[in-house]
């Protein structure tokens, strides 16, 4: 394929959006509804909540910590074979998990093996999508990530139904079959070569420049804090509702309510990210702050109406922050470094994904309820918002909006570190 001067902003890019849609559904849709299995694992293995929470946390952490590997392999071989290999690993991990007899088996199969497959699928797919779009990047990312909301809506009651009819072992076998569709998603990722690609240097030069870039480092710290509290409802909300006396099926259905709101939030935020002038980071701070507040209010609500309202609020704001979070990164580092930048961000923020759910489970074991768990989760998101306001041009309302295609041309010399105060400056 001949190199293009700039991203096509469409064309085959919409097929990449379709692949990313199903890929996000089969990765994070499964992760976000894994709380349905949480109660079953606690009962089957007679373990504490904190220990069972490590299953999802290890999977999230491996997916994110292994992202640089997926990015480096995609840079060398292209995203297509990497994502297809990841799909096979993700399915194999779920298949082996159905034969588990101890929690350690689940740590290794779901956490390590499926997590490694997710690491080879998510980051290369999102990075490939970012290279196909510039002006409509936030909208394309929002549409692609709606797969998470739709699948969460469908998977939560589906998994609960599978558990009631086939038990957790049979349910995991069917989840393995679903995960194998990631191979088809990878087949749709046609590599795109841009004219600026040779100028950004190899992975080593890109890594060196990113590690000297202050705004990128602060952005990474912010996402790590956000990631620590982001997944808590999808791991422990069902258990929290059961503590309040809810039956398992209505509790799982509340996750579906949040998923519908999440879907609307992703599309609305993607459109606003391209339509509203100024840095996209401002929208990210707004949605992150509102998500933190809604999380902290969950222990206060006990009436079904209040819990449904909070689930809707949390779903919308948590869904809305995701597409703009991925759109901020190309504005900081340029499209030429998107594979390396996104992989590095995912690796560092895996610390939050690893510690978040076990910390929440530990607080539940110590206090006897999930009040402290949700309050602490909300505090982590609010702390991440505080770090995000330090990004370049956040308070500058007179500066024109920096477009990704302009920023990419300012970060071409691999021997020169990225400017300390952001790539959008003249």
> Does residue 418 surpass a pLDDT of 50?
no
> Does residue 289 surpass a pLDDT of 70?
yes
> Does residue 401 surpass a pLDDT of 80?
no
Q: Mean pLDDT across the stretch 326-349?
A: 82
> Does residue 277 surpass a pLDDT of 80?
no
Confidence of residue 138 (pLDDT cuts 50, 70, 90): confident
Q: Mean pLDDT across the stretch 74-78?
A: 82
pLDDT above 70 covers what percent of the chain? 88
Q: Mean pLDDT across the stretch 381-404?
A: 72
> Does residue 73 surpass a pLDDT of 90?
no
The residue ranking higher by pLDDT, 413 or 291, is 291
What is the C-alpha R_g of the chain? 20
pTM: 0.73
Confidence of residue 412 (pLDDT cuts 50, 70, 90): very low
Q: What is the DSSP string of 69-114?
A: HHHHHHHHH-HHHHHHHHHHHHHHHHHHHTT--SHHHHIIIIIIII
Q: Out of 4-13, 163-172, 387-396, 414-423, give the one with best mean pLDDT.
A: 163-172
């Amino acid at each position: 394929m001949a190199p293009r001067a700039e991203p096509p902003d469409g064309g085959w890019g919409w097929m990449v959006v379709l692949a990313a849609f199903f890929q996000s559904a089969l990765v994070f849709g499964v992760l976000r509804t894994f709380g349905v299995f949480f109660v079953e694992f606690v009962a089957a293995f007679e373990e504490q909540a904190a220990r069972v929470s490590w299953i999802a946390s290890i999977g999230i952490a491996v997916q994110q910590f292994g992202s640089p590997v997926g990015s480096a392999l995609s840079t060398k071989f292209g995203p297509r074979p990497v994502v297809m290999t990841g799909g096979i690993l993700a399915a194999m991990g779920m298949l082996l998990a159905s034969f588990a007899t101890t929690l350690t088996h689940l740590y290794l199969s779901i956490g390590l093996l499926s997590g490694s497959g997710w690491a080879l699928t998510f980051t290369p797919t999102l990075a490939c999508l970012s290279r196909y779009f510039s002006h409509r990047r936030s909208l394309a990312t929002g549409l692609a990530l709606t797969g998470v909301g739709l699948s969460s809506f469908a998977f939560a009651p589906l998994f609960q139904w599978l558990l009631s009819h086939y038990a957790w072992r049979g349910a995991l076998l069917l989840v393995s079959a679903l995960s194998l569709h990631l191979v088809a998603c990878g087949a749709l990722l046609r590599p795109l070569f841009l004219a600026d690609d040779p100028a950004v240097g190899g992975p080593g030069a890109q890594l060196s420049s990113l590690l000297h870039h202050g705004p990128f480092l602060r952005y990474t710290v912010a996402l790590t804090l956000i990631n620590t509290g982001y997944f808590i409802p999808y791991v422990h909300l069902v258990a929290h509702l059961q503590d309040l006396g809810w039956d398992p099926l209505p509790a799982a259905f509340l996750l579906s309510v949040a998923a519908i709101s999440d879907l609307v939030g992703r599309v609305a935020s993607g459109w606003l990210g391209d339509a509203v002038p100024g840095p996209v980071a401002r929208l990210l701070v707004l949605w992150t702050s509102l998500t933190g507040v809604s999380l902290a209010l969950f222990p206060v609500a006990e009436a079904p109406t209040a819990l449904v309202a909070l689930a809707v609020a949390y779903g919308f704001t948590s869904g809305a922050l995701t597409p703009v979070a991925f759109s901020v990164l190309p504005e900081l580092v340029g499209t030429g470094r998107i594979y390396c930048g996104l992989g590095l961000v995912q690796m560092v923020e895996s610390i939050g994904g690893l510690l978040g759910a076990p910390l929440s489970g530990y607080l539940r074991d110590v206090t006897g309820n999930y009040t402290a768990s949700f309050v602490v989760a909300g505090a982590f998101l609010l702390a991440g918002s505080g770090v995000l306001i330090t990004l370049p041009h956040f308070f500058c309302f007179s500066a024109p909006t920096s477009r990704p295609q302009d920023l990419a041309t300012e970060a071409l010399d691999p021997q020169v570190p990225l400017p300390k105060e952001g790539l959008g400056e003249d």
